[in-house]
Amino acid sequence: MSTAPVFNLKNPCLATMKLARKLSREGSPKDTRHFEIDLRGSGLTFEPGDSLAVLPANCPDLVQDILKAQGWTGGEAVEDLNKKPSTLRGALTTTCNLATPDKKFLNAIVAKTSNAPELVKLLEPERKEQLEAHLHGRELIDFLHDFPDAKFEPQEFISLCKKLLIRLYSISSSLKANPDSVHLTVATVRYHTFGRDRKGVASTYLAERVALHETVIPTFIKEGKGFRLPAPDDETPVIFCGPGTGIAPFRSFLQERSATAAKGKAWLFFGEVSSRTDFFYEEEFNEYLKTGVLTKLTTAFSRDQPEKIYVQHRIAQHAQELWEWLEAGAIFYICGDASRMAVDVDQALHTVVEKAGGKSPGEAAEYIEQLRKDKRYRRDVY
C-alpha cells in the first residue's frame, strides 16, 4: 500500500521554483507576481481552496545590517530558535523574526543602555497605544542603530527574537489542470519608513531571493476548510468576488471547473487598480467566458476614472441579477483584503438583499446570516 507523505512545519516539502513572472505591467503601482512551484516527485497534493504555507528566509542585507550593527561576523556558533546548532547568520536568516520588536526585546535594549529614557517611558504599562504607534514601521534594526551602545552576545540576541513564522498563500491552480506544480499569486510588500526601505519577508523572498530551480522552498498545505466548490455535476451557481490577490483561489476554482466540465453558472467579480496594468490573467478569463466555464465577468478598476470604483460598487449596480442568482441558490465566495474590502462587500450584499429583495435592514441581516449558516457565504480573507 502506498502512503502519501505527510508534510507539515516539522517536515516541510522542499520544492523549487519552476516559473516566476510579473502580473503587474509597466506603470503599475503594484508588484504582483505569478509563481509556479515544481511538485514533480514530491507527493504533495492539494484541493482548490487550499493554501500553501511557505517558510521564508530573511533578506541577507537586513541580516548583514544586524551583524554589522553589533560587530559580529556571522560565523559565530549558536543554537537557532529550532534548537539546532547553526552559525549566527544562518539562525538570523531562517529562524528569527527580525521585523516586529516586542516588549521583551525593547526591555533588553533599555537594560543595556542609559541613553533610552524615552523608550523606558514608552514601556510603561499605561502607554500601550503610544508604544504601538512608535513600533509601527520600525524593525529590530532601528533600535540597534538608535542605541549603538546596546551590545548583545550572539546567543542572547537570538533568544530575544520571536520565531520567523510561515506565510500562507491561496493556491491559484488546480492539479487537474497543472498536475506538476502549484501556482501562487503574490503581491510583493515593499515600503519605506524612517529612512529605510523595508521588505515583506515572504513576498520578497519569493520575488527576489528564490532562484529558479535552485533555492529550496520549505512548504506544506493548509487545508481551506469549507472553501470548496460544489461537486461538478451540482448545478448550484457560484459567485466569486476576488479583487487583487483575492483572485487566487478563483483561478484555481475555474481551472478545476474547466477540467471537470462543471455544471452550473459561474460569475466572477475582479478588481484592481487599472485595466491596462493590473488585469491579472485577463486572457485566461476571457477564454473561460468563451468556453462557458465563466458565465459572467464583472470588473472594477479603481483608478481608471476620477472616482474610485470597487467590486462592491459593481455588486450594487448588478443588485437585481445578483439577487436572482442568490435566490436560485448561488454560493457567494469572497477572498482578499479583510480589513476594508470584505467589510464593504458584506455591506453591499446587505444592500442588494434590501433593495432587490425588498427586505428591511433586519430581514436582510437575517437573510445573510442564513446564507452563512447554509454555507453559501464562504470567506477566505486576510
Ligand X SMILES: NC(=O)c1ccc[n+]([C@@H]2O[C@H](COP(=O)([O-])OP(=O)(O)OC[C@H]3O[C@@H](n4cnc5c(N)ncnc54)[C@H](OP(=O)(O)O)[C@@H]3O)[C@@H](O)[C@H]2O)c1
Instruction: Give the residue, chosen from 337, 350, 355, 379, that forms a contact with ligand X under the rule CB under 6 A.
Output: 337
Q: Which of 136, 144, 148 shows the shortest CA–CA distance to 160?
A: 144
Cell 526591555 appears where?
Answer: 107
Residue 197's alpha-carbon distances to 31, 114, 194, 330, in angstroms, are 15, 29, 9, 45
Q: Which residues bind ligand FAD (CB under 6 A)?
A: 51, 99, 136-137, 167-170, 185-187, 189, 191, 193, 200-203, 245, 248, 380, 382
* Shortest distance, position 44 Cβ to ligand X, whole Å: 25
* Shortest distance, position 382 Cβ to ligand FAD, whole Å: 3
Residue closest to ligand X when measured from CB atoms: 244
Kindly tell me which of 131 and 189 has the beta carbon lying closer to ligand FAD. 189
Nine-digit cell string for 38: 515544481
Q: Taking a C-beta distance cutoff of 8 angstroms, is the pair 106, 119 a contact?
A: yes
* Shortest distance, position 42 Cβ to ligand X, whole Å: 27
Q: What are phi and psi of 221, to 5 degrees?
A: -95, 135
Q: Which does 365 bind (CB under 5 to 8 A by kind): ligand FAD, ligand X, none?
A: none
Question: How is 311-323 classified by DSSP, letter by letter?
Answer: HHHHHHHTHHHHH
Of residues 17-76, those binding ligand X (CB under 6 A)? 30, 32
Nine-digit cell string for 339: 480589513
Instruction: Give the residue, chosen from 23, 311, 319, 348, that forms a contact with ligand X under the rule CB under 6 A.
Output: 311
Kindly tell me which of 46 and 279 has the beta carbon lying closer to ligand X. 279
Instruction: Give the residue, chosen from 25, 104, 121, 340, that forms a contact with ligand X under the rule CB under 6 A.
Output: 340
**Strands (DSSP E) found in the chain:** 13-22, 32-38, 51-54, 77-79, 85-87, 96-97, 162-163, 167-170, 181-187, 190-193, 196-199, 217-222, 238-241, 266-272, 296-301, 331-336, 377-381
- Check binding of 303 to ligand X (CB under 6 A): yes
- Check binding of 304 to ligand X (CB under 6 A): no
Q: Taking a C-beta distance cutoff of 8 angstroms, is the pair 236, 263 a contact?
A: no
- Check binding of 310 to ligand X (CB under 6 A): yes
- Please report, as ranges, the residues that interact with ligand X according to CB under 6 A: 30, 32, 187, 243-246, 271-273, 302-303, 308, 310-312, 336-337, 339-341, 344, 382
